[in-house]
Amino acid sequence: MSTEIIMAVIMNLLLLLLSAALVRSGPSMLPLKSFKISGNVTYDCIDIYNQPGLDHPLLKNHTIQMKSSISRSEFKNPTDNDKTYKKKIRCPDGTVPILRNSKDYITNPQYFHPLSQNRPEAHIAGVRSNNGPFRGIEAWFNGYALNISTDEASYSEIYIGSGSDKEVNFISAGFMINPSIFGDGRVWTYGFWHGKDGKGCYNTVCPGFVQVSHEVPLVEPFDLKPGVPVWLRCSIYQDKQTENWWLTFLSKPNVDIGYWPKELFNLINNGANVVGVGGVVQASPSGSSPPMGTGKFPTGDRRASAMFTNIEALNSNYEQRKISSFHMEKLLDSPNCYGLRIGTVKPFHRTLLGYFFNYGGPGGNSCGV
């Protein structure tokens, strides 16, 4: 081949690559600014009206809600090692931070939601109430570094939902370690939903979640030393005016992260039948189950194991009540491998309520997968 032909071939290839890149991002998707917060974690500030979350077919006519219509009480986190709200990202007004390339890591996006009757590869330790309708759930809880292999996942989460296996509407948020989603074994905040289209999806990997905060993204990694937790107080609740489902991090000040629009759902528009909180793990197809919580069984020393506290639900009239004022059930399906210890203490801090539980355990090969 002559050099001329080779040059022409190369030029054509370059043009092809360039046009593919343009089609994929589109001029409106070009980030105005980017924040690289660690090695391979970059957030792009995307125009709020052009964020990928709005690409869902059910959101064709959706009008973005900029602010939740329910004001939640603010919360001063008394722990010293709270890393959650250290702001590393400040997108310009009118733009929102979207994790770059998160699509690349998805290899196994299934998720066994706790409303399922049938979860052969998942285990759970927590509490829930079926006495809905509920307008929301909130809790204060922690996440710990754990060694999780690439075909396993471990979650600490709050959730709301209605339905069961045939048809379910479900939203959860909290911490997860899920190497198949994130490409690393760190603790990340996350959000997950399953709607009337019959599909489930994490984070902003596929459309559905509308990010509103320009400083706090839905997903963010934490570099934790073993045994040193990161704390999160968050709430999933339904907007009184729009019926959208908000995710708010309760702090000082509160941050409305964003919401799952009501158009995505058909069973929870008048509230959710079930609310719950706790740990969930997804076992490896090989049969081994990963650690949950701190990776140790709760011992009775409440500060030594993973914890959920200040668990409150919004009843059908949007009134906030302690979870212990509703009928509750304990969930623990594999006591060989995980523990659940419900405790009550006299309030030892004015921000800490009486009801809490510790949970977690090492997992292993005899958890009943």
Ligand X SMILES: *[C@@H]1O[C@H](CO)[C@@H](O)[C@H](O)[C@H]1NC(C)=O
Q: Which residue number is nearest to ligand X in terms of Cβ?
A: 183
| Residue 184 binds ligand X (CB under 6 A) | yes
Judged by CB under 6 A, the residue of 3, 61, 63, 73 near ligand X is 61
Q: How far is the CB of 183 from ligand X (least distance, A)?
A: 3
Q: Measured between alpha carbons, how far is 242 from 260 in angstroms, rounded to an integer?
A: 11
- Residues paired with 332 in a beta bridge: 125
Q: Given the complex with ligand X, which of 136 and 261 has the nearer CB atom? A: 261
Judged by CB under 6 A, the residue of 39, 120, 300, 347 near ligand X is 39
Task: Number of residues interacting with ligand X: please give it, by CB under 6 A.
Answer: 11
Q: Measured between alpha carbons, how far is 20 from 29 in angstroms, rounded to an integer?
A: 14
Q: Given the complex with ligand X, which of 146 and 332 has the nearer CB atom? A: 146
Q: How far is the CB of 220 from ligand X (least distance, A)?
A: 14
Q: Measured between alpha carbons, how far is 52 from 46 in angstroms, rounded to an integer?
A: 9
CA neighbours within 13 Å on the CB side: how many for 92?
A: 8
Chain length of the chain: 369
Judged by CB under 6 A, the residue of 33, 35, 50, 183 near ligand X is 183
DSSP state of 262: G
Q: Measured between alpha carbons, how far is 146 from 216 in angstroms, rounded to an integer?
A: 24
Q: Given the complex with ligand X, which of 60 and 327 has the nearer CB atom? A: 60
Site residues (CB under 6 A) for ligand X, limited to 100-159: 145-147
Contact by Cβ (8 Å): 342, 277: no
Q: Given the complex with ligand X, which of 60 and 350 has the nearer CB atom? A: 60
- Count CB-CB contacts under 10 A for residue 93: 7
The piece of 54-62, 166-174, 314-322, 340-348 that touches ligand X (CB under 6 A) is 54-62
Q: Measured between alpha carbons, how far is 197 from 192 in angstroms, rounded to an integer?
A: 14
| Residue 226 binds ligand X (CB under 6 A) | yes
Contact by Cβ (8 Å): 162, 268: yes
Site residues (CB under 6 A) for ligand X, limited to 237-296: none
Q: Given the complex with ligand X, which of 3 and 61 has the nearer CB atom? A: 61
| Residue 58 binds ligand X (CB under 6 A) | yes
Q: How far is the CB of 189 from ligand X (least distance, A)?
A: 17
Of 366, 2, 313, the C-alpha closest to 128 is 313
| Residue 94 binds ligand X (CB under 6 A) | no
* Helix extents (H) in the chain: 3-25, 179-182
Q: How far is the CB of 60 from ligand X (least distance, A)?
A: 4
Q: How far is the CB of 229 from ligand X (least distance, A)?
A: 11
Q: How far is the CB of 262 from ligand X (least distance, A)?
A: 11
Q: Measured between alpha carbons, how far is 261 from 62 in angstroms, rounded to an integer?
A: 8
Q: Given the complex with ligand X, which of 185 and 343 has the nearer CB atom? A: 185
DSSP reduced 3-state for 65: coil
Calculate the alpha carbon distances from 353 to 118, 278, 356 in Å. 33, 17, 8
| Residue 63 binds ligand X (CB under 6 A) | no
Q: Residues in the site for ligand X, rule: CB under 6 A?
A: 39-40, 58, 60-61, 145-147, 183-184, 226
